[in-house]
Amino acid sequence: MIILWILAGLAGLLICLLLAAVIRTLLTPSKTSDYVPDADPARAEAYAKKLSRMIQVDTVSVPDTNQREKFLAFHKVLEELFPLVHARLEKTEIDGNLLYFWKGKSSDRPLVLMSHQDVVPAEGTWTHAPFSGDIAEGKVWGRGASDTKCSVMAFFQAVEELLEAGYEPPQDVYLSSSCTEEWAGDGCPKLVDEMKRRGVRPWLVVDEGGGIITEPVGGIHGNFAMVGVFEKGKADVKLTARSHGGHASAPVKHSPAARLADFIHEAEHRRLFRRRMPREVQAMFETLAPYASFPLKLVLGNMWLFRPLLLQVLPMISAQGGAMIQTTMAFTMLKGSDAYNVMPQEASLGVNMRFIPHQGMEESLGIVKRLAEKHGLEMEVFHATDCSAVTDIQGDAFRTVQRVIGETFPGCAGSPYVMTGATDARNYHRICDSVVRFAPVVYGPEQMKGMHGLNENIEYNCLPGAVDFYQNLIRAMT
């Protein structure tokens, strides 16, 4: 009888909590994201022509290759397109990487605007040739249009126009652009080393990585300014199983391929890594909640009640959402025997890992190593970097970015989020406490699909807003 009373009491408590959440949701005003780029065809078309010229220069970067001459050709185009920047700013070129210095009235709170010059290879059959820079259907087409020559063009153009108007920035401004971002090369670190040598400690760094994303979460419609505040760490891991091989007509148990399969199966069906809701992810959900339909608004707007449930179901309903709350492990490469009738003496598995701050590189790799040893696998780790530092979403620098987003893009809600990929921005954490990832252009489903894929493009009606954002941010550094 006592157990029944306890169960009845718990059920009553749960009903009360649910009722409180429902009432709270009903009392929370619903919002609509109605931001669309302002119609400014003259500016948009002029900026599209500049971006087109930049795309026409092939800046595909190749790992561990000296390609300085290729990027010097791109720099000549920048000089033609932005003559005042090159006449009045102090330019430093290091192995194809660029750093520009614009002296401000004060050096107390330097601002760094950055995005990379290099692009990934353009394979496959494109509707518009990948280095054509075609302007058609309201879009600029080609590799780098959205990732990220659009933002390079925008901050150069922003400074060009301010110089033309005789403007003097309130704080020192730096323009930073590496040519090795796409393979996590040493370009940006060299630029950071140069700034460190000069004794510069930026107050704010703004890189690409986030953007104005159309429908950032399924069921939440409209455009939202998603501002990345930290990056997950990453590593490439190779797992190798060995044996004496043999003829496939007499197979033995626990072959290399079978042991790799056992490892994959256990990793897929066991929860290897802890799930935790970073406060930045919770802030993202709470920001987006008023824009959702009632069921989603109920869950996202009442994290005090539904956080445990969301931690359980989020990876099942959204791969991107799940990646924001735990370390992830993706199986990307498999290799075994070269013949159907030969048992492999060696089989290998390639794994890409992304580390979350609450369970960083060392702990996450340790978990994988113990599982690998259980299945008789050798483990090698390549290109490992831990999670970046986290930018304080309550800090002045982040609030400044949010304020400028609101001023530049009326009706567009700004939200923090977690970068599950990697950018050059992580290098700046060595000298700056507030590093954000936000390219001020609109990325719809088509643009997201085109990044690193076929038919990359950007709708050029968003380019004036991008230029305005950088100008407003420069002005805000008082």
Convert the pLDDT of each residue in 427-466 to its tens digit.
999 999 999 999 999 999 999 999 989 999 999 999 999 9
Q: How confident is the model at residue 245 (pLDDT cuts 50, 70, 90)?
A: confident
Paired with 207 in beta bridges are: 437
Phi, psi of 301 (to 5 degrees): -85, -5
pLDDT score for 16? 83
DSSP secondary structure, 122-134, as one string: --S--SS-TTT--
Q: How confident is the model at residue 99 (pLDDT cuts 50, 70, 90)?
A: very high
Q: What angle do CA 425, 202, 423 make, to 5 degrees?
A: 5
Q: What domains can you pick out in the chain, each with its CATH number?
A: 41-231+388-476 (3.40.630.10), 233-385 (3.30.70.360)
- Which are the contacts of 43, defined by CB distance < 8 A and separation ≥ 6? 463, 464, 467
Report the mean per-residue pLDDT for the chain.
94
Convert the pLDDT of each residue in 127-142 to its tens digit.
999 999 999 999 999 9
pTM, full prediction: 0.92
pLDDT score for 421? 84
Give the C-alpha separation, 98 to 95, whole Å: 9
Convert the pLDDT of each residue in 258-267 to its tens digit.
999 999 999 9
